Amino acid sequence: MNLAEKSVENVEFMIEKIKEKLKVLNLGAIKPSHFDENMYEDLKDIYDLVMKKNSFSPNEMQAIVEELGSLRKQ
pLDDT of residue 26: 67
What average pLDDT score do residues 20-38 get? 77
27 is a domain residue: yes
20 is a domain residue: yes
Is the overall model pTM greater than 0.75, yes or no? yes
Q: Into how many domains does the chain fold?
A: 1
2 is a domain residue: no
Q: Are 1 and 13 in contact (CB under 8 A)?
A: yes
1 is a domain residue: no
**Domain limits at 33?**
8-72
pLDDT of residue 48: 96
Amino acid at 35: F
